[in-house]
Chains A and B, each alone.
Chain A
Amino acid sequence: MRHTIVRRALFIILIASGSLLAQVSNERILHSTQEPQNWLTHHGNYNSQRYSTLSQVTPENVKNLEIQWLYQSRSLEKFEATPLVVDGIMYTVQAPNDILAIDAATGRLFWTYSHTPDAAARPCCGRVNRGLAILGDTLFMATIDARLVAVDAKNGRPLWNVAVARPESGYAMTLAPLVVKDKVIVGTAGGEYGIRGFIAAYDARTGKEAWRFYTIPGPGEPGHETWPANSNAWEHGGASVWVTGSYDPDLNLTYWGIGNPGPDWNGDDRGGDNLYACSVVALDADTGKLKWYYQFSPHDEFDYDSTQVPVLADMQWKGSPRKVMLWANRNGFFYVLDRTTGQFLLGKPFVEVNWASGFDEKGRPQRVPGMVPTTQGTLILPGNQGGTNWYNPSYSPKTGLFYIPTWANYSSLYVKQSVEYVEGRNFGGGAPRATTQSGIRTTANNYAKEDEGYGAIRALDPHTGEMKWQFKMTDVTDAGVLTTASNLLFSGGREGYFYALDARDGKLLWKFPVGGRVVAGPMTFSLAGRQYVSIAAGNSLFTFALKQ
């Protein structure tokens, strides 16, 4: 009898621990670096370094990588998602809003959940999605019709589905949500449609909104004075959010990059700095209250969204340990900020820049006179797509270098026009034009010269902003970067290659012709002692491992 009771108790404990292990708890997400075999958040972990401690694949053996499987999506849209991997199951998104559960070892499908977006959805730049978040046994997806959907990770069944904003007004969501504690945090795209952007947190269990932070302060709120008085410009001022933020559990702060103000290229009717457009904001993760902000591009008229990934690192800074944030901005500057206070520590161009000449002591950029959009057009470096953009950089604590997918020698002719706000219509106020015959190429064939713009991976010393090396590509790039503890760097580009570099010196070690644009970030995981590397390219998802 006693044995029976003991056995039952043991059984219950085993069941309980088994279910805890199976679920993606907050503890597991907080300590995700301790389980590098998985990829539990969009950027790999809360510090968003896109760095993995897996080291089976090395500079010496990376030449033996071979394709294990590829999944061809049933979508002709850009494949921008970075997958999650949880204990051998891969979860990703097939554009626009299909969640896939895939066996990570073989690429075979367990189930699909399809969300059919409302016909009113009008994302500016593709019916795309960049990935998912998970908590417990629930996956979360933000949709292009501005809804947040919770789905059972075991069987793909929808659990709840809530409206975040009105797609008719131009709101859309393309980012992967961020789970912090019991909340799911998202932000709204739509900066080209005159939205008023916001970041909002939802109860992970019910979908009920817990807090909302408007990225444009309303009347009476600090920062509202950076918009013109007696005007409703702030109501349609953009400041969208479309790249997943980061989280520092010690500070309980979540960091998000904010997009451009609207109209994009004509700031005449929105005089002032236009907070918090083109800024990073640090919010209390429980309440959404603003702790600090830093504005990279006050009164932006170049579409310099600050929707980059806030990369968090702890490093020695001028002799003292410091919690910093590394940021390569679309505006062409590389920044180091103190992420506890928002203090500006360093700003240095990582590409050619002609709109600002430097910074004052508080970190405000010093504008170059005359470098503004005009009706005739002004040539600005970097151009409209920026020195970099949304594609994720990587920081390797192993090499101490920060790696940026870069557009070099790239400029635009900024032309402004007048525009009236009409709900749901484009609210650009002008257009950037190519400055060279090649411009941003729309043909399948590439005829460009290097001085007309090229792509590169640039490796910076974050202490100085100095470039240590670069790997040049003939074409520009929309690919993210992954680094590993074995000093490997994975990336790709528009040319349709996925490749590995030596993270120490940028030497090309391996490449694979994926045959389509890489418009996503790579990730790595391991199963049964075998390391895999996955990347979406063209319309397919590729997974590699060493030849056995």
Chain B
Amino acid sequence: MSSRVCILVAILAAAALPAVAQHEYTESEIEAGKQQYSTACNRCHGPDGDNIANADIGHGKFRRATSDADLVGLIRNGIPGTRMAPIANMSEPNAQTIVAYMRSMAATAAAVAALPAGDGGRGKTVFEGKGACGTCHRVGDRGSRSGPDLSQIGAQRRMVEIHRSLVDPDAEIIPANRSLRIVTKDGATITGRLLNQDTFTLQVLDTKDEKLKSFSKSNLREYAFVSNSSMPSYKDKLSSQELSDLISYLTSLKGQAN
């Protein structure tokens, strides 16, 4: 395994005092911070910010910081004597967006707080049975590749994001999961996950036969993004308990190949 430089490990430790946001942040700051967090922080702290013991930065529990300025300083300078190294070339504005995102994490986490405690083992049963998730999704070497691969979903997406995808699949479809409907000049229709595109060609994974396919646009009658997710909402299909169990299972999938 390649070396892992932990970047944001332990902004805090135990007995944290919730630090208070200093001001309101804009949506664009939060979105920019999400991207910064994804590349700089996620690997060690995890998508929900709770991977490091006693350092639940996704829920506003910071031991060594009370103000946003403190947090910016920790992000940029690291914490000597810990695995939290300074982040190279992290500008102050960028560090501020990470703080903005961390503050928003704490606020949005409330959406799943009302769910009953979940059980990953039962969630796996829901995944494979009632949810029939493997019809479109793959975990490890089982399931279909037509939908997003979920083998590492727990290391990539927040619990609240997984919850939202389950109950409201159309709310957010990340760019890498967009689908196209393609009609060739001879009338064949293909629906596939968009892998790549340029002015002249399209590359997709055909959801039907799971083959990689490339099309010259000049050979197509039409092609368009599929606006809605092909995933059904599980809002009314699963009970709160089943939903919570399923989320517990999905957040446990951190299968970095090793």
Smallest beta-carbon distance A135→chain B, Å: 13
- The reply to whether A108 and B151 contact each other, CB–CB distance below 8 Å, is no
Q: Which residues from chain B contact A87 at a C-beta distance below 8 Å? A: 211
Question: Which residue of A18, A103, A118, A159 is within 8 Å of B1 (Cβ)?
Answer: A118
Given known pairs A22-B209, A119-B3, A158-B256, the reply for A109 and B149 (CB within 8 Å) is no
Interface 9-residue window, one of A124-132, A147-155, A193-201, A358-366 = A147-155
Given known pairs A22-B209, A161-B258, the reply for A108 and B2 (CB within 8 Å) is no
A108-143 toward B: CB 8 Å interface, digit per residue (1/0)?
111100011111100000000000000000000000
- The reply to whether A154 and B214 contact each other, CB–CB distance below 8 Å, is no
Given contacts A101-B212, A118-B2, 5 further A-B contacts (CB under 8 A): A108-B214, A109-B203, A111-B195, A154-B145, A155-B145
Report the bound CA distance from A315 to B64 in whole Å. 77
Q: Is B22 an interface residue (CB 8 A)?
A: no
Q: Which residues from chain A contact B216 at a C-beta distance below 8 Å? A: 106
Given known pairs A18-B209, A103-B203, A103-B214, the reply for A117 and B256 (CB within 8 Å) is no
Q: Is B205 an interface residue (CB 8 A)?
A: yes
Chain B: which residue is nearest A117 at the CB level? B2
Q: Which residues of A contact B (CB under 8 A)?
A: 18, 22, 87-89, 101, 103, 105-106, 108-111, 115-120, 145, 147, 149-150, 152, 154-155, 157-163, 205
Report the bound CA distance from A150 to B141 in whole Å. 12
Report the bound CA distance from A152 to B145 in whole Å. 10
Report the bound CA distance from A117 to B198 in whole Å. 31
Q: Is B201 an interface residue (CB 8 A)?
A: yes
Question: Which residue of A106, A118, A159 is within 8 Å of B257 (Cβ)?
Answer: A159
Question: Which residue of B201, B210, B258 is within 8 Å of A154 (Cβ)?
Answer: B210
A-B pairs, 9 with minimum CB distance = A158-B257, A103-B214, A116-B2, A161-B257, A110-B195, A110-B212, A110-B203, A118-B2, A160-B257
Smallest beta-carbon distance B205→chain A, Å: 6
Q: Is B135 an interface residue (CB 8 A)?
A: no
Report the bound CA distance from A120 to B2 in whole Å. 9
- The reply to whether B212 and A150 contact each other, CB–CB distance below 8 Å, is no
Q: Which residues of B contact A (CB under 8 A)?
A: 1-3, 138, 140-141, 145, 149, 151, 195-196, 198, 201, 203, 205, 209-212, 214, 216, 256-258
Smallest beta-carbon distance B38→chain A, Å: 16
Chain B: which residue is nearest A15 at the CB level? B209
Smallest beta-carbon distance B201→chain A, Å: 5
- The reply to whether A22 and B211 contact each other, CB–CB distance below 8 Å, is yes
Report the bound CA distance from A75 to B138 in whole Å. 32
Q: Which residues from chain B contact A89 at a C-beta distance below 8 Å? A: 212
Report the bound CA distance from A117 to B151 in whole Å. 22
- The reply to whether B198 and A149 contact each other, CB–CB distance below 8 Å, is no
Q: Which residues from chain A contact B212 at a C-beta distance below 8 Å? A: 88-89, 101, 103, 110, 154
Smallest beta-carbon distance A153→chain B, Å: 8
Report the bound CA distance from A503 to B140 in whole Å. 48
Q: Which residues from chain B contact A149 at a C-beta distance below 8 Å? A: 257
Smallest beta-carbon distance A470→chain B, Å: 41
Chain B: which residue is nearest A161 at the CB level? B257
Q: Which residues from chain A contact B138 at a C-beta distance below 8 Å? A: 157
Q: Which residues from chain B contact A159 at a C-beta distance below 8 Å? A: 140-141, 257
Q: Which residues from chain A contact B140 at a C-beta distance below 8 Å? A: 159
Q: Which residues from chain B contact A120 at a C-beta distance below 8 Å? A: 3
Q: Which residues from chain B contact A108 at a C-beta distance below 8 Å? A: 196, 198, 201, 203, 214
- The reply to whether A106 and B205 contact each other, CB–CB distance below 8 Å, is no
Q: Which residues from chain A contact B141 at a C-beta distance below 8 Å? A: 159, 205
**Interface pairs (26), CB distance under 8 Å:** A18-B209, A22-B210, A87-B211, A88-B212, A103-B203, A103-B212, A103-B214, A106-B214, A106-B216, A108-B198, A108-B201, A109-B195, A110-B196, A110-B203, A110-B205, A110-B212, A116-B2, A119-B2, A145-B2, A152-B145, A154-B145, A155-B149, A157-B149, A158-B256, A159-B140, A160-B258
Chain B: which residue is nearest A104 at the CB level? B214
Chain A: which residue is nearest B148 at the CB level? A155
Report the bound CA distance from A115 to B3 in whole Å. 11
Smallest beta-carbon distance B191→chain A, Å: 16
Q: Which residues from chain A contact B258 at a C-beta distance below 8 Å? A: 160-162
The winner among B198, B210, B212 for most chain A CB atoms within 10 A is B212
Report the bound CA distance from A451 to B216 in whole Å. 52
Q: Which residues from chain B contact A155 at a C-beta distance below 8 Å? A: 145, 149, 205
Smallest beta-carbon distance B206→chain A, Å: 10
- The reply to whether B203 and A161 contact each other, CB–CB distance below 8 Å, is no
Chain A: which residue is nearest B5 at the CB level? A119
Report the bound CA distance from A110 to B176 in whole Å. 12
Report the bound CA distance from A460 to B162 in whole Å. 64
- The reply to whether A157 and B198 contact each other, CB–CB distance below 8 Å, is no
Q: Which residues from chain B contact A111 at a C-beta distance below 8 Å? A: 195-196
Given known pairs A106-B214, A108-B198, A108-B214, the reply for A157 and B203 (CB within 8 Å) is no
Report the bound CA distance from A155 to B196 in whole Å. 12
Report the bound CA distance from A18 to B205 in whole Å. 16
Q: Which residues from chain B contact A118 at a C-beta distance below 8 Å? A: 1-3
Report the bound CA distance from A386 to B257 in whole Å. 40
- The reply to whether A103 and B201 contact each other, CB–CB distance below 8 Å, is yes
Q: Which residues from chain A contact B3 at a C-beta distance below 8 Å? A: 118-120
Report the bound CA distance from A145 to B3 in whole Å. 11
Smallest beta-carbon distance B30→chain A, Å: 28
Smallest beta-carbon distance A543→chain B, Å: 14
Q: Which residues from chain A contact B256 at a C-beta distance below 8 Å? A: 158
Smallest beta-carbon distance A281→chain B, Å: 30
Chain B: which residue is nearest A18 at the CB level? B209
Report the bound CA distance from A118 to B3 in whole Å. 5
Q: Which residues from chain A contact B1 at a C-beta distance below 8 Å? A: 118, 147, 161, 163
